[in-house]
């Protein structure tokens, strides 16, 4: 199983002691590891070896963790199935023959298969929560700025966060305790409010007595019937433990997927410009014409999905179209954030199915990228709003895993961990 979970199986030993001593961790292959290949699942970086560690990797080492490999992923984080990886697809250990989700599918699969105790992924529009749901494990997308992005190969700077996977909520929270905190090398990082000095893992009490849960009706529309039924069973379980729920509305989310992809693709177009065969990436071989050399390197180095997103992002940012697409997407983003703030003023947390569908069969969705984009409908609004969210196993439909997503206010990770630990 490990051969399709890891791109590089090279152990990196941590300190002799620490909070994660004796624990093994898989690291997504877009997180820099000094002296160990970091490919982003792309031919472009097939031989790239970083000269430095990402901040989260340094913190793992200091905490005594052993990194057991670099986990497979959709190329440059662009995908929902881990099938766009240059190194091949990853099977789902919890549902063989199905995708593990993406883009951090290898990380979730490593935990689900017992290849690692914990794992790190990155979440730009659901890339931690989707594979957590599809593989039946726990995944946390932290508040934007809680975890340093230094050493994370950028896809969408304003959207992405590194997040932990674990078999249980407490496991994932223990990893979050290690990686969270400000970093002078990442100016977007912030410390959680001072009153929140409690360890994240200590919040995993499962106490939901009196918890108010808002259920956005828009995030249930169009979802698979079995997924919705499993979701309501999980809500009923929380009710039995003392929580109460009521319906809320997020009118702006009907525009969230469109706004997200305009913003994410625009940022990707800019971020991936550096991979030209000169600064980074494999050379196309100079033949006397710089433009042709540049084009050849990118044609040979990037896969179809990455090329698609670069083209669309470049178009959205081009003269005459910036205001028509990118500016409108940013306006929609502000509307999404305001809707979440209003909803969270009426509830402690919000709840939805993590994914509106169960895991796809391997190969099922590769010919329809639009289908994959729409599958992110429940996860991308959280990234647009810079909020934290967690996916926990809710049960199964037709033998396939279903995840429950809980969303909280900014830096409300402890609230989410407390609620989610009632289920996992």
Active-site residue set: 28, 103, 127
Query: Which H or E element spans position 121?
Result: strand 118-123
Sign of the alpha-carbon dihedral angle for 306, 309, 312, 316: negative
Distance from the Cα of residue 422 to its chain's centroid: 23
Say which residues have a Cβ less than 8 Å from residue 231's Cβ, sequence separation at least 6: 220, 223, 351, 352, 353, 394, 402, 404
Among residues 96, 118, 94, which one has the least CA distance to residue 107?
Answer: 118
Order of strands, edge to edge, in the sheet holding 138-141? 6-8, 66-71, 24-28, 118-123, 161-166, 138-141, 389-397, 400-407, 349-353, 212-216, 244-248
Residue 198, classified by CB atoms within 10 Å of its CB into exposed (0-12), middle (13-18) or buried (19+), is exposed
Bridge partners, residue 245, by sequence: 213
Among residues 48, 100, 37, 112, which one has the least CA distance to residue 74?
Answer: 100
Cβ atoms of residues 391 and 129 within 8 Å: yes
Residue 307, classified by CB atoms within 10 Å of its CB into exposed (0-12), middle (13-18) or buried (19+), is middle
What does the alpha-carbon distance between residue 422 and residue 237 come to, in Å, rounded to a whole number? 9
What does the alpha-carbon distance between residue 385 and residue 341 come to, in Å, rounded to a whole number? 9
What does the alpha-carbon distance between residue 73 and residue 364 come to, in Å, rounded to a whole number? 18
Vertex 104: Cα angle to 55 and 280 (nearest 5): 60
């Amino acid at each position: 199983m490990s051969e399709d979970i890891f791109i590089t199986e090279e152990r990196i030993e941590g300190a002799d002691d620490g909070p994660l001593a004796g624990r093994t961790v898989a690291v997504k292959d877009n997180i820099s590891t000094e002296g160990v290949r970091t490919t982003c699942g792309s031919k472009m970086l097939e031989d790239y070896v970083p000269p430095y560690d990402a901040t989260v990797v340094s913190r793992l080492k200091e905490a005594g963790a052993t990194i057991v490999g670099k986990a497979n992923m959709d190329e440059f984080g662009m995908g929902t199935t881990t099938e766009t990886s240059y190194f091949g697809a990853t099977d789902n250990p919890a549902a063989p023959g199905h995708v593990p989700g993406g883009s951090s599918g290898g990380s979730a699969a490593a935990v689900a298969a017992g290849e690692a105790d914990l794992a790190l992924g990155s979440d730009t529009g659901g890339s931690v929560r989707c594979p957590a749901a599809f593989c039946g494990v726990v995944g946390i997308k932290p508040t934007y700025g809680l975890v340093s992005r230094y050493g994370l190969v950028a896809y969408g700077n304003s959207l992405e966060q590194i997040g932990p996977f674990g078999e249980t909520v407490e496991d994932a929270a223990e990893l979050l305790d290690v990686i969270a905190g400000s970093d002078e090398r990442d100016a977007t990082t912030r410390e959680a409010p001072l009153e929140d000095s409690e360890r994240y893992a200590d919040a995993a009490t499962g106490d939901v007595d009196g918890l108010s849960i808002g259920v956005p009706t828009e995030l249930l529309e169009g979802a698979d019937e079995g997924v919705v039924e499993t979701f309501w069973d999980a809500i009923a379980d929380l009710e039995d433990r003392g929580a109460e729920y009521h319906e809320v509305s997020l009118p702006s989310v009907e525009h969230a997927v469109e706004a997200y992809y305009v913003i994410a693709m625009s940022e990707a177009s800019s971020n991936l410009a550096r991979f030209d065969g000169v600064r980074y990436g494999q050379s196309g071989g100079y033949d006397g014409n710089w433009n042709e050399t540049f084009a050849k390197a990118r044609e040979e180095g990037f896969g179809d999905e990455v090329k698609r997103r670069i083209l669309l992002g470049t178009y959205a940012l081009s003269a005459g179209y910036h205001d028509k697409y990118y500016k409108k997407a940013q306006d929609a983003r502000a509307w999404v954030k305001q809707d979440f703030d209003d909803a969270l003023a009426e509830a402690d947390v919000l709840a939805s199915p993590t994914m509106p569908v169960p895991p796809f069969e391997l190969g099922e969705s590769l010919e329809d990228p639009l289908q994959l984009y729409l599958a992110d409908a429940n996860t991308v609004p959280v990234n647009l709003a810079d909020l934290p969210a967690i996916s926990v196993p809710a049960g199964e439909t037709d033998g396939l895993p279903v995840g429950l997503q809980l969303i909280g206010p900014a830096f409300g990770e402890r609230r989410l961990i407390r609620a989610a630990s009632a289920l996992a």
